[in-house]
Amino acid sequence: MGTWGKGIYKSYDGMDFDIMANGTDMKMYGKHITQIVIDPNPPNAVYVATEEGVYQSRDGGQNWIETNQGLASTDVRVLHINSNGELYAGTKGYGLYKWEQGVWQAINSFGKWGCLWPIWDNRVMYPYTSLLIHSEDNSKILLGSFPQGIFKSTDGGTTWRESNIGWTNDGVFCLVHHPQDPEIVYSGTYNGVNKSLDFGEHWEICDEGWPDEQWVYAIDFDFTNPDIMYACSKNGENEGTGRDGFHGTVMKSIDRGAHWFEITNGLDVNQEFYALIVDHFNPNTIYIAAQWDGMFISRDGGNSWNSWNEGLTNHVPATNANNVTNTMVISADHSILYFGSWGSGVFRRMITPVLPVNNLSADLRHHQVILKWQFDDLNNNFSHYNIYKSTEEFTSIEGMSPYGSISSASATTFEDMYVEPGVQYYYAVTTNDESGYENDHIYVLGPVVLTGEEPAIEPGENCDFSGEGTVSINDVIAFLLLARDNPEHSRLDWNGDGIYSIIDAVALLLDIIQGKCTGGTTLLAAADSLDSAPMAEKLSQSDIEYIEEAITLMNLTDEQMTLIYQALYGKSRESSLPKSFSLSQNYPNPFNPLTTISYDVPSGKPVHVSLKVYDIRGRLIHTLADGIREPGVYKVFWDGSTKRGGKVSSGVYFYRMQAGEFVQTRKMVLLK
């Protein structure tokens, strides 16, 4: 018989008379014994599990030997000898071991998962629910499971071991690490939140303030102050069915999870909350995906919530009806949210005014660095790119001045000719919108180092100026915009005469038509250019006006002119123009802080257009347009400012367009 700290006792008469069996040196006295097993062959062989490890005696308890070789933890709770005489040990938090050739060997923790759990209404056990890779050492991985808890790998996933020392509550829903210290890990469980300070080696509970039996689906941080945390849950009472009026909650902590409090003002807690994301650009903005009511947004750190379902045709997020769900994710650049609906596909929504660039790369040529990138102007509000350059590595553009700027969204290259071999250079490219917002979520490219042996660019080498991977008339348009934004670019000397002129644009056009280009599949026929969206849809009004002016200087034939206009508009110049005056409803509406107003001027003569904003009393607030406009489609923006530069309050406003005899007024709502 084993005792807790008082040693081992042995009896020959059914425990009527006991004698101590702690060994001649009293080795077993003081040990915290959890189990004793007797080897049936020979019967004098005894094995003891304790919190201090495994001990064995070959002489019925007269002498004891410590046998802990190979154990990751000495806290052993279970011993078992099978019919083949093989000895197994179960540890607290470090899995199962087998005694082989004088050492304990860890048993593979994985296999035969996904079975039913009979102790809870035959509930399915989830093999894995979440995976967390150490941000500074990718050989270290944590894997969450139900109901086995945490498994850890320190060799990139080749081998795994149980890692549940101090773990409380069974299954795992999510794993996240502290933004500034990847060793600090939080796990959402079936009963609150657990925390580890050493990447899963040891765990402690940290859910003070949480209601009982909360299944915590998501945890996120304020990245400017990671002491502030947010989490959302499903009420797991009554075997996961919750209770009437309370099926989930949203919580906040301001002390790294030591204490929590509810933040549900504006939310109906008679539903579950599946996903929560904190905005990386404005940490007071938080997004929630709810069971029935779709998306919610808080702009004040969770103090209040508002519905955020504009554009969602299905408000119900997709779950597999088995609690393991991932209904909302954010893009790697923190610019787009994706919402998975129940049966209606995936929806996306931009959460920044303008997207950042992506796939920034560099081509190295003789005394030149040619930057290339990609960009999608989803909001059609692009203003310009800023290019940043430094000989020292940087992570933020704060305090830096742009090295160069490009005002065309389609001009996704920049040539830097002021570089020297052997010098390290670092580059970043930002996007800016028409309101003056600069998306400073940057990827820094570098170090970029020239050797001095790079080849020079040959005239006519590559016709793909648009970056589309094909050669078409679009490249002539991109060529003209490049000439405007970067007139010293070496590729502009297309005919190799040493200078750039409009003749180079004509030479490029002829090479494309005649199939003399490299750089991609050449689209020769005019109709081929219609397979993709017309270039005008990707350009600003000033870009289009510049292109049309440049075309008039190229002295083109009617056939060549038709090719250009088909690439630009998808049809002839005249047929692309509006047929009548119109004033569109502003978007978004209601809005905060910026809205877009579009209006059309039909084909014909230029006309004077005025577009003015009035308050509900008829007082003039701002003039958005007042001058002669050529036929075309126009967009203007209003940010709630007055004609003197002040800001108006929330309320209803009217905007009125007058062009000749055409007059139209529409209503819009500003919500702050």
d(C-alpha 324, C-alpha 125), whole Å: 11
Same-domain pairing of 391 and 515? no
Pick the range with the lowest mean pLDDT from 104-113, 279-288, 633-642.
104-113
Task: Give the pLDDT of residue 128.
Answer: 57
In a domain, 207, yes or no: yes
Same-domain pairing of 161 and 144? yes
Task: Report the CATH number that the domain containing residue 589 is assigned in CATH.
Answer: 2.60.40.1930
Pick the range with the lowest mean pLDDT from 86-90, 335-339, 356-360.
86-90
In a domain, 186, yes or no: yes
Domain end, chosen from 560, 576, 592, is at 576
Q: Which residue has the tokens 């190799």?
A: 496
Tokens of 609: 């257009």
Helix, strand, or coil (residue 382): strand
* Cα separation of the two ends of the chain: 73
In a domain, 455, yes or no: no
Residue type, 47: Y
Q: What is the DSSP string of 54-90?
A: EEEESSTTSS-EE--TT-S-S-EEEEEE-TT--EEEE
Structural domain including 231 reads 116-350
Q: Which residue has the tokens 């969602």?
A: 312
Task: Give the pLDDT of residue 175.
Answer: 94
Q: What pairing do the DSSP bridges indicate for beta strands 521-522 and 470-471?
A: parallel
Task: Give the pLDDT of residue 250.
Answer: 98
393 contact partners, CB below 8 Å, separation of at least 6: 426, 444, 446, 447
Task: Give the pLDDT of residue 119.
Answer: 55
Mean pLDDT, rounded, for 313-339: 81
Task: Give the pLDDT of residue 459.
Answer: 46
User: At residue 356, what are phi and psi to the nearest 5 degrees?
Assistant: -80, 170
d(C-alpha 471, C-alpha 530), whole Å: 13
Percentage of the chain beyond pLDDT 70 is 89
Nearest-5° Cα angle at 568, 567 to 573: 110
Task: Give the pLDDT of residue 122.
Answer: 59
Same-domain pairing of 138 and 171? yes
Q: Is the pLDDT of residue 17 over 70?
A: no
Domain count, the chain: 5
In a domain, 515, yes or no: yes
Same-domain pairing of 136 and 77? no
d(C-alpha 245, C-alpha 603), whole Å: 61
Mean pLDDT, rounded, for 364-389: 87
- More reliable by pLDDT, 570 or 393: 393
Residue type, 465: F
pLDDT band at 246; cut points 50, 70, 90: very high
Task: Give the pLDDT of residue 127.
Answer: 55
- Residues 305-318 have pLDDT tens digits of 999 999 899 998 88
Same-domain pairing of 133 and 101? no
Give buried/exposed letters for 440-465 (b at 16+ CB in 10 A, else e). bbbebbbebebeeeeeebeebeebbb
Helix, strand, or coil (residue 485): helix
Same-domain pairing of 94 and 167? no
In a domain, 3, yes or no: no
Pick the range with the lowest mean pLDDT from 101-115, 192-206, 413-427, 610-624.
101-115
Pick the range with the lowest mean pLDDT from 206-215, 356-365, 466-475.
466-475
Task: Report the CATH number that the domain containing residue 71 is assigned in CATH.
Answer: 2.20.25
pLDDT band at 212; cut points 50, 70, 90: very high
Rg (CA), the chain: 35
In a domain, 195, yes or no: yes
Which pTM was predicted?
0.56
In a domain, 401, yes or no: yes
Same-domain pairing of 283 and 157? yes
Domain end, chosen from 350, 379, 405, is at 350
In a domain, 564, yes or no: yes
pLDDT, averaged across the chain: 84
Task: Report the CATH number that the domain containing residue 377 is assigned in CATH.
Answer: 2.60.40.10
Mean pLDDT, rounded, for 366-390: 88
Distance of CA 178 to the CA centre of its chain: 16
Percentage of the chain beyond pLDDT 90 is 36
Pick the range with the lowest mean pLDDT from 17-31, 179-193, 239-253, 423-437.
17-31
Same-domain pairing of 601 and 655? yes
- Work out the burial of residue 189: count CB atoms within 10 Å of its CB; fewer than 13 is exposed, 13-18 middle, 19 or more buried: buried
Q: What is the DSSP string of 86-126?
A: -EEEEESSS-EEEEETTEEEEPP--SS-S-EEGGGTTEEPP
Same-domain pairing of 222 and 320? yes
User: At residue 536, what are phi and psi to the nearest 5 degrees?
Assistant: -60, -30
Domain end, chosen from 87, 106, 125, is at 106
Same-domain pairing of 161 and 38? no
- More reliable by pLDDT, 106 or 658: 658
Q: Is the pLDDT of residue 15 over 70?
A: no
d(C-alpha 131, C-alpha 324), whole Å: 13
Mean pLDDT, rounded, for 453-468: 67
- Residues 502-522 have pLDDT tens digits of 888 888 888 888 777 754 444
Same-domain pairing of 550 and 594? no
3-class SS letters over 294-331: EEEEECCCCCCCEECCCCCCCCCECCCCCCCCCCEEEC
- Residues 120-171 have pLDDT tens digits of 565 555 555 688 989 899 899 998 887 778 888 898 888 888 888 888 767 8
Task: Report the CATH number that the domain containing residue 162 is assigned in CATH.
Answer: 2.130.10.10
Same-domain pairing of 201 and 64? no
For residue 356, is the peptide bond before it cis, meaning its omega torsion is within 30 degrees of 0? no
Tokens of 670: 């500003």
